């Protein structure tokens, strides 16, 4: 992760199965992340049980990487405002040593923000994800 999103005292600590760092490469004019990358190391803790002798980065971990990218930065939604994972489709596997390239597209809605994201490796698309964020204090 490249930084804590928003004032540190107002954001929860990041807790999850992914140890990898999510690096934001590009932000849009509105400050929202639009491109990120994650290097999947061979020593990711999740590989100990998923699967021995044939490690695959679980889809839920790809989803976490997208969520962490989407909520990175002071202009991004707060992680606590994730209202729904509207869809998640997994199209290909991610393995140790892969680099996940994340592309995020944002739309403002009446309720908040929607993020459509794709995750890909050098072999092609790994996942497409749609997240919906609804700030508890009103729209951004």
What are the catalytic residues? 50
Q: Give how far Cα 54 sits from Cα of 42, 65, 80, Å.
A: 11, 21, 34
Question: Which among 58, 83, 57 has a CA at the least distance from the CA of 70?
Answer: 83
Cα separation of 92 and 10, whole Å?
36
């Amino acid at each position: 992760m490249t930084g804590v999103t928003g004032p540190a005292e107002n954001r929860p600590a990041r807790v999850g199965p992914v140890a990898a760092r999510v690096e934001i490469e590009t932000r849009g004019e509105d400050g929202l992340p639009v491109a990120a990358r994650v290097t999947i190391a061979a020593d990711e803790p999740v590989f100990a049980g998923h699967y021995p002798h044939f490690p695959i980065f679980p889809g839920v971990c790809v989803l976490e990487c997208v969520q962490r990218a989407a909520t990175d930065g002071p202009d991004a939604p707060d992680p606590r405002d994730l209202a729904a994972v509207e869809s998640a489709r997994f199209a290909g596997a991610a393995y140790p040593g892969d680099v996940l390239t994340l592309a995020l597209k944002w739309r403002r809605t009446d309720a908040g923000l929607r993020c459509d994201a794709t995750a890909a490796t050098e072999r092609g698309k790994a996942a497409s994800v749609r997240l919906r964020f609804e700030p508890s204090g009103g729209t951004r």
